[in-house]
Amino acid sequence: MREGVVTKDDLEAFRRRFSEWLERNSPDWWPRTIESIHRRIYDDIIPQMRAWQRRLYEEGWLGYGVPERYGGKGGSRLLEFVIHEELAKRSAAPVLNRIGLVTALPILLSHGTDAQRERYVPPILRADEIWCQGFSEPSAGSDLAVLACRGEIKGDSLIISGQKVWSSLAHIADYCLLLCRTGKVEDRHRSITCVILPMKSEGVRVSPIKQITGETEFNQIFLSEVRVPLENVIGELNQGWNIAMMTLNHERLLMCMEMLAKASAAFNRFRGMIEEVGESDKTYWKARAVDLLIDLEKSKALLESMMNLAQRGEVGPETTIMKLSATNAIQRTYLTINEYLGGGATSDADGCDISWFRGMLWSRGRAIAGGTSEVLRNIISERILEMPR
């Protein structure tokens, strides 16, 4: 995908403007604590979150990289990434329709028909319609190319049956960006089709998955002979793999921007904590803070270099390196803070803060979502180091 041109100075000026705006307008119903960093999107605040995204859009902060005729503002997508990053940095309420904006929208723009773009893009921007993603399956995670969810062509419809897993927001979504098998399994990625699945269709059932944090962010989707019109196919039949993969590097880049924003916010709080330590322990904890500072700074420097590539529209498999680096930074930050707090992070008794433990649990998921660290290492060794499969 071709990016609109944007310079580093443009991005920083935009960041400052948004940051000032956010300072005045961050919603007070969203708890600005560590808790919000990994908080599931509770059903009871969905209306406020919809309204928040709509406001961001109407105030001109969303829709970059989207042509004006579809309700966007043109320009570079990276401007919008800065919005997500700033929200994460300040632990402010995130954008509700994240999958719609980050995954579905660029795919619709690059491979959708005019009719699809006109129909689906504006409601994504306004959070009128929420999207989820149906890629992974119980037996097709890291090796996504063996996915089994079937799509049989009958007349002018696809009849879809199968199961999807790890679908964030599926419980409230209106549409799912779904990958299904429309040919032989042996053809692997050459017989996969990308389709827009209305979640209200007959035969769709959503079941929540409880995570180690105790929260329920993901869902399973069960599909039983769900009829979807063929006009909902994005791009050509059996071309879904390349379509789905094209947004992967950008998603990973955004994920890293948010991880590092959160890690920096947590680190700044840690710096405050150790100021209160007695002199005898201070040297030790300052040294530990320096370790974290080095982890964060090296990862931030890497992100700057990746943003540089992205500004030129050249972001590719090197985002795998970025993700391993950012995952390390955030995991080590949470682990160190938990070590520092000791028993103080194990309960919510007076003077304790259990959310740091939950944050640490949440950070473990970062090494799994968006490509496990093991798969990323495979990609690095095979595609960059050119070692044999």
Partner 1 sequence: MRFRVIEPELNEEDTLSVRTFESLLGRSYGRTQMRVVADSNRSAVSALKAELVNTGLTSLFLMDEEGNDGSKMVVAACLSQLSGRHLVPLGLLTLHLISSYLLSKSIREPLKRVELIEELGVKVVTPLLNNRLQLVDKGSPQASLSPADGKVSVNGLVLDLDVSDLVLLPVLDDGVTRLFLIESSSIRRFATPVQFIDLTSTCQMVRGELDVKTDEIARYYVKSDQILEDVAHSSILLAAEALGCAERLLEMTVEHLMVRETFGKKVASYQAIKHRCSDLLVRIEELRATVLYNSNSKLRCLVSKALAGEVVTHVALEAIQLHGGVGFTWDNDTHLYLRRGKVCDNLVIDSRHARELLSRIL
Chain positions contacting partner 1, by CB under 8 A: 271, 286-287, 289-290, 293-294, 297-299, 301-302, 304-305, 308, 318, 321, 324-325, 374, 376-378, 380-382, 384-389
Helices H, strands E: what count in the chain?
A: 13, 8
Nearer to partner 1, 210 or 282 (CB): 282
Other CB atoms within a 10 A radius of the CB of residue 323 amount to 24
Q: Which is nearer to partner 1, 30 or 285 (CB)?
A: 285
Q: At closest approach, how far in Å is the CB of 14 from partner 1?
A: 19
Q: Whose Cβ is closer to partner 1: residue 119's or residue 271's?
A: 271
Alpha-helical (H) ranges within the chain are: 8-25, 34-37, 46-58, 77-89, 98-99, 105-111, 114-125, 240-245, 248-275, 279-311, 319-341, 355-365, 373-379
Give dist(CA 63, CA 15) in Å, integer: 15
Rounded to whole angstroms, the Cα distance separating 363 from 176 reads 26
Minimum separation from the CB atom of position 353 to partner 1 (A): 22
**Distance of closest approach, residue 249 Cβ to partner 1, in angstroms:** 13
| Residue whose CB is less far from partner 1, 115 or 287 | 287
In whole angstroms, what is the distance from residue 72 CA to residue 65 CA?
7
* Enclosing H/E stretch for 204: strand 204-209
Nearer to partner 1, 194 or 376 (CB): 376
> In the bound complex, what is the minimum distance in angstroms from residue 29's beta carbon to partner 1?
34
Q: Residue 196 — φ and ψ, nearest 5°?
A: -90, 115
Task: Please state the separation of Cα 109 from the chain's center in Å.
Answer: 19
Q: State the nearest-atom distance from the C-beta of 307 to partner 1, in Å.
A: 10
Contact 84, 123 (CB under 8 A): no
Q: Minimum Å distance from CB 16 to partner 1?
A: 17
Please say which residue, 92 or 380, places its beta carbon nearer to partner 1.
Answer: 380
> To the nearest whole angstrom, how small is the minimum distance from the Cβ of residue 13 to partner 1?
17
Task: Tokens for 63, please give them.
Answer: 């829709």
- How far apart CA 286 and CA 15 sit, in angstroms, is 31
28 vs 386 by CB, closer to partner 1: 386
Which residue's CB is nearer to partner 1, number 7 or number 48? 7
Listed residue (210, 298, 300) closest to 262, CA to CA: 300
- In our burial notation (b when 16+ CB lie closer than 10 A, e otherwise), range 193-218 reads bbbbbbbeeeebebeeeebebebebb
Sequence-separated (6 or more) residues with CB below 8 Å from residue 69: none
